[in-house]
Structure 1
Amino acid sequence: MGGLATLTKGQPLYIAYGSQITLRHTYDKNPGSRPCWLHSHAHVYPVRYKDGRGSSHQQQVTCYTFKDVNNWWIVKNPDKEEMVLDDPVQPVKHGDIVQLVHGLTSRALNSHDVAAPLTPQCQEVSCYINYNVSMPPQNLWKVQIINRANDNSKWETIKSHVRLVHVQTNQALKTTGLSLPEWGFNQLEVATDRHMQQDATIWNVEEHRYNKNEDKEGRLRDIQQAELIPMEPTYVSFWEKFWELQTKMLFGAPPADIEHKYRSNPLDWPFVSKNVAYWMHATTNAQIHLLGNTVVWVTGTLSVLSLCALLAFYLLRRRRGFHELNTDEWKDFLFLIDFIVVGYFLHYLPYFLTDRTLFLHHYLPCMLFKVLAVAAILDHIEMLCRSYVTSHSSMVTRYVVVALVAMATWVFIQLSCVTYGNVSLTAADVKRLSWRESWDFLLHQIGS
């Protein structure tokens, strides 16, 4: 089933005055960028930020990375009070001036000469609240269709890439890609920028419906119903799904030259030389990292190398006429090599030729083969002990298994605080967990 196709099936093509829309950030080449939708909610900007700068204390506008009922906006004609469709419908064209009214709070998208919360060189974007102070609304936006055929082109759903230019200050609406603090629910910052010719200022309408309700309650009901799951699925063929998946994987990676703090190369992975931070609490130093169990990862790497060494040893011995393994045992051993060792390197070696930003999670498919390699090498050693030493000597293998499980469990317990992020950490705790200098944990200075 195609999710977006289900939501957009049968929706009007042309954006008109009175349309209800969701605006998706089209694309961005900045590090860590991800799809998001223009969003607002009833919460306001804090009066003062941590750095001492003041805000407008107006309603927050963000870019939210999930579908949400607060992503809906109404395209309003500035010359009319009503927010319903004209009869006949009046499409919005390139160069037209519009107001964007937030669907649930009925406040208009606004900008003014106040610095954005995280990007002071840009202007704050808000939904205007009338506090009866000397700050009049500045809520007019010019629609610029970037991929228009001509200057009379109409604003189209999905197809049109638009830039929304704030009329009063001649700055373009953009997302900076930076996450707001907890007061902004870690959603992405939206601002206006005088430097308009950049990908971060391009948007497109993803969902669209015509508003035919004249009363506010009816409009709210329409918007809330727009987020309901469609009752009938849209079926997409296997090859359409396959093609979309391959395209996303091929072109969805960030550029290779990005210097990400937690990027790594394939040589860092077998012995857990790098970690990846996913989350950190704003005040307690509780944090979540992708970090392998060192006992499991190192033992797995050594097991794969041991299987390779055994293969070379047996091949050399067989060329000289010595057969430590009978025919059935040799076939079983070759099966292990074909499945485990070949499988491991098929999933590992291609990354040395990959021109993209790599992280530890790219190594996870190899881990399946490493764990199998541990079991395979222990089983092989036990078989050799039974054949060439004594039956009682095979007990040594079992003691080794118990020791490995005990050590892996101990490491799991020690690192569980950064696996689940459920424990507050002091500076001393963070230092204690840094078993390797290359592990990069985070730290707020809250005491030791």
Structure 2
Amino acid sequence: MSQTLKKRSGGNGSSSGKKSSTYSSNIEFDDDKKDEFDLDSIVAEKEPEYKYLAALTLVTLLAIYTRFTKLATPSKVVFDEVHFGKFASYYLEGTYFFDLHPPFAKLLIAFAGWLMGYNGKFKFDAIGDSYIENSVPYIAYRALSAIQGTVTVPIMFLTMKTLGFSVAACLFSSIIVCFDNAQVTDSRLILLDATLILSVALTMYSYAKFSTFRKQPFSNNWWTWLLATGVSLSCVISTKYVGVFTYLTIGIAVVHELWILLDYKKGLTLQQFAKHFFARLWALIIVPFCIYLYWFYLHFAILNKSGPGDNFMSSEFQETLLESPMAAHSKQVKYFDQIVIKHKDTKGFLHSHKHDYPLRYEDGRVSSNGQQVTCVVQDNGLQDPNNQWEIIPTVENANKNTKVYTNDIVRFRHVGTGGYLLTHDVASPLKATNEEFTVVYDDAAETRYNETLFRLRLNVPGSNPKKGKQRKEIKTLATELKILHVDTMVAMWTHNDELLPEWAFKQQEVSGNKKIQEKENIWSFEAITNLHSADPRAHYVPKEVKTLPFLKKWWELQLLMFHHNNQLSSEHPFATQPNEWPLALSGVSFYNDNVEKKQIFFVGNIFGFWFEVCFLSIYVGLVLADQITRRRNYYILSQKARSRLYNTLGFLFIGWAAHYFPFYLMNRQKFLHHYLPAHLVAALFSGGLVEFVCSNNSARPNGKPPGVNKIKIIAVVSICSTAIVWFFFYFRPITYGDTYLTPEQIQARQWLDIKLHYGK
């Protein structure tokens, strides 16, 4: 906290003409008087308004350019768009899902889809899926993020202007974020981060504006900006729970302010102080919490149908959901059921018939000459016995009432011919690297028992492969599976890009794929064909929908969200630790196109990140130097400079620290995008510190004019901004993913620990 300087001999505070040590001895602290954060006392003479307007227009146009350029590229699912695009589809269908993040930003994405008249049919199952082929309004979705990312930049400029900084400082802070590759990448894809970053920026701006009306407590302007701060905080915490760090930032500032108001020298009675306290409690806690609850109310109101999130919730909660059309026709699968197995991508039914593979193929390769196993696409596929397979258990005591679960090991008996499905180490007809599928009978089926065993592995799109090992009831239509061969660990697979010859009636080849993680390996059980009228599953009984109090539903979901957030401790190839973030040592591969050799790599602007670290370090040095010299009775900085150093810059430094250091306490997975809110606040701080070091801050001006040295600040901002802009355009091909780079060009961009595709 800055202190007032006081000349012991009275007078107007002029020196008695002695050297600096004598001058210092004539000054002492008045420990009883502390300055509150008063913008009026620290703001230098402002530059003409037209200069601010011109600079603001410039950075806004630059933000539009960086965010909207090539917005349609790539026209495929990129990285975590698999999650947040999918959630938007569930909202549009009203199908219940579970996610770790609060609903606000996801509802915004769904709203963009609703405005475009989209029905949510596409489920964003895997990175690389085509938007154009599936008629998805992905440009509208991405435009929502781009708009938010664009608005963030001028909001930063206005925040710096409100805090009383010069045009050059405002411009520099804005340029750091405008041309940051990570910020640009995250604000032009279907992700939550653009909403989070904008909400953080609005919070900082609103609180800065509130600070300008501190001398007008409870006025309309005072209330407006205090409530605006609370609403912005609500948007942060309603987007991601890391928003609590923004609450921490504002909370520290509010506690500091209340501590000053509590001082009896301020002349406030306890009743007046209580009025200040409860005003902040209302505007910054109660109102934001009510808004936060409102998004969950909308979440439950929209998602009123049974869906993929059911299994996370209690049975009491599930009873409040309507059955979706899929759930109404979905049946629990049991052993000895006769089922039809359908491939997700090609819509083909697993099929076999009384025809064998030729002993020798056209290319001279030899087959097993066993019974053909293929895939067919046909309208009456459910009635064809050659498409029907009986699930045979491999465990004792299993009977017709025993349910089938994911991760079970089973056998498939072909209903049409009576044999057992088998795959073995024989090359398939079209794919020489894949295994052939066939059907064996009688003694061969017993002697080759291990080769007829298959594991039913749950498919969890876009998630850690370990989640696929969980054990869940298998239902027709609803459960996506990978059918893995136990003996050779290949996945059953089919394709329709090349069909089998006439000897297989030009049907699809079925083979064992060694790349078991590929999304093309997904199957589902389409229907049970041998249900009798006595089986309760044969009759649809409409579900009775019950009610549950909103707060009870919210509390159950809240506990589950916190629990699963804490469970995100497994390793991830692109997870990083907080010590790597400030220097942008590495990044994340968001997308790569193996055909055109293009990629999107998420990494920060290394020059911008390093400049921020330098300025943060300089600030720590300045504070330490000021404290040490003052302990020795040397007062180097003017009172106005110290107020700027400890109040304005101190607030921004604390904001950066509050958004960064808590990640060291977390055991969950951490990624570079977690640093972006801290990066935003550090950008504000960097512009402020550049102005500070380019100003005359001396307690004794010695003839130098007070205020900012314009030549010096323009030079520093120009050099730093040029480096930042150069880096942005140098790494532009891997930010937008629209340009092919040669292996040499890729290798030239593998700075620090950055590992790119196609560098060989």
Question: TM-score interval w.r.t. the shorter chain?
Answer: 0.5 to 0.7
Residue deviations 1:235-290, cap 9 Å, x none? 78654554344234222x2514x5x2x44333322222212211112133211101
Q: Does 1:315 align with 2:627?
A: yes
1:293 Cα shift?
0.9
1:139 positional shift: 4.6
The partner residue of 2:455 within 169, 172, 195 is 172
Give the structure with the higher percent helix.
2
Aligned residue number for residue 55 of structure 1: none
Partner residue in 2 for 1:18:
none
* Pairs within 5 Å for 1:260-279: 260=573, 262-279=574-591
2:740 alignment counterpart:
424
Q: Does 1:403 align with 2:719?
A: yes
| CA distance 1:90–1:102, change in 2 (3 Å) | closer
- The answer on whether the counterparts of 2:565 and 2:668 sit within 8 Å (CA) in structure 1 is no
SS of residue in 2 equivalent to 1:431: helix
1:277-328 CA-partner distances (Å, limit 9, x unpaired): 1111213321110111122100011111111111111122222333334555
Q: What one-letter code is carried by the residue in structure 2 that aligns with 1:276? A: V
CA contact (8 A) 2:335 2:399 kept: no
Match of 2:661 in 1: 349
Match of 1:95 in 2: 335
Render the CA deviation track for 1:342-391: whole Å, top value 9, x for unaligned: 23233333333443444322322221122122112112123336874446
Q: What is the 5 A alignment of 1:432-443?
A: 432-436=748-752, 438-443=753-758
1:422-446 residue CA offsets vs partner (Å, 9 max, x unmatched): 111111211222333x22111165x
Mapping 1:81-92, distance limit 5 Å: 92=332
2:508 is matched with: none
| Counterpart-to-counterpart distance in 1, 2:392 and 2:662 | 46
Establish whether residue 192 from structure 1 lines up as the match of residue 484 from structure 2.
yes
Distance in 2 of aligned mates of 1:90 and 1:346 = 49
Counting only pairs closer than 5 Å after superposition, residues 298-377 of structure 1 correspond to structure 2 as 298-377=610-689
- Is 1:294 the equivalent of 2:382? no
Q: Cα RMSD between the aligned structures? A: 5.1
Give me the whole-angstrom Cα distance separating, in 2, the residues matched to 1:378 and 1:397: 7
Alignment of 1:160-239 (within 5 A): 163=408, 165-167=410-412, 168=420, 169-174=452-457, 190-194=482-486, 238-239=554-555
Structure 2 residue 322 is the aligned partner of structure 1 residue 7: no
The more displaced of 348-357 and 275-284 is 348-357
Tell me, in whole angstroms, the C-alpha distance in 1 between the residues paired with 2:684 and 2:640.
Answer: 20
Letter in 2 for 1:443: Y
Task: Specify every segment of 5 or more residues in structure 1 that has no aligned partner in the other structure, as ranges.
Answer: 10-34, 38-70, 73-88, 115-124, 131-135, 180-187, 209-233
1:108 to 349, 354, 362: 349
Q: Which runs of 5+ in 2 are unaligned?
A: 1-87, 98-123, 127-306, 309-328, 358-372, 379-384, 413-419, 421-451, 463-479, 490-515, 528-548
d(CA) in 2 for partners of 1:141, 1:174? 18
Q: What pairs up with 1:42-121 in 2 under 5 angstroms?
A: 92=332, 94-100=334-340, 102=342, 107-109=348-350
Match of 2:595 among 256, 262, 283: 283
CA shift for structure 1 position 171 = 0.6
- From the superposition, tell whether residues 301 and 110 of structure 1 become closer, same or farther in structure 2 (CA, over 3 Å): farther
- Describe the superposition over 1:50-99 as per-residue Cα deviations: whole angstroms up to 9, x where unpaired: xxxxxxxxxxxxxxxxxxxxx99xxxxxxxxxxxxxxxx99656424231
What secondary structure sits across from 2:585 in the alignment? coil
Counterparts of 2:376 and 2:408 in 1: how far apart (Å)? 21
**Cα deviation 1:12-69 (Å, max 9, x = unaligned):** xxxxxxxxxxxxxxxxxxxxxxx969xxxxxxxxxxxxxxxxxxxxxxxxxxxxxxxx
Distance (Å, rounded) in 1 between the aligned partners of 2:667 and 2:488:
30
Q: Specify whether residues 190 and 126 from structure 1 end up closer, same or farther in structure 2 by C-alpha distance, changes over 3 A only.
A: farther
Query: In 2, distance between residues paired with 1:327 and 1:390?
Result: 16
What is the match of residue 56 of structure 1?
none
Q: For the residues of structure 2 that align with 1:101 and 1:143, how far apart are their CA atoms?
A: 14
- Summarize the Cα distance change of 1:426–1:407 in structure 2 as closer, same or farther, 3 Å threshold: same
Corresponding residue SS for 2:694: helix
Residue type of the alignment partner of 1:342? I
Alignment-derived partner of residue 140 in structure 1: 389
Contact 1:93 1:154 in 2 (8 A): yes
Flag the 1:4–1:410 CA change in 2: closer, same or farther, 3 A: closer
1:279 counterpart SS class: strand
**Matched AA of 1:99:** I
Pick the aligned partner of 1:382 from 681, 688, 694: 694
Distance 1:304 1:126 in 2: 64
The structure that is strand-richer by fraction is 1
Find the aligned partners of 1:91 and 1:427 in 2 and give their Cα distance.
52
The amino acid across from 2:634 in the alignment is: F
- CA 142–343 in structure 1, closer or farther in 2 if over 3 Å, else same: farther
- Does the C-alpha gap of structure 1 residues 431 and 154 become closer, same or farther in structure 2, counting only changes over 3 Å? closer
**Identical aligned residues as a percent:** 19
Q: Which moved more, 1:354-363 or 1:416-425?
A: 354-363
TM-score, normalised by the number of residues in structure 1 = 0.55
Partner of 1:46: none
Whole-Å Cα distance in 2 between the matches of residues 90 and 383 of structure 1? 71
Q: 2:168 aligns to what?
A: none
- Give the Cα–Cα distance (whole angstroms) in 2 for the partners of residues 95 and 361 of structure 1: 46
Alignment of 1:140-159 (within 5 A): 140=389, 142=391, 152=401
Letter in 1 for 2:758: L
CA separation of 1:36 and 1:331: change in aligned 2, threshold 3 A: same
Q: Partner amino acid for 2:673?
A: H
Moved more, 360-369 or 331-340: 331-340
Q: 1:297 to 1:333 in 2, by over 3 A?
A: same
The 2-side partners of 1:143 and 1:350 are apart by 53
Distance 1:270 1:106 in 2: 48
Asked if 2 retains the 8 angstrom alpha-carbon contact of 1:142 and 1:164, the reply is: no
CA distance in 2, matches of 1:242, 1:178: 23
Scaled by the length of structure 2, what TM-score is found?
0.34
| Distance in structure 1 (CA, Å) of the matches to 2:617 and 2:636 | 20
CA contact (8 A) 2:459 2:481 kept: yes
Between structure 1 and structure 2, the one with the greater Rg is 2
| Letter of the structure 1 residue corresponding to residue 565 of structure 2 | M
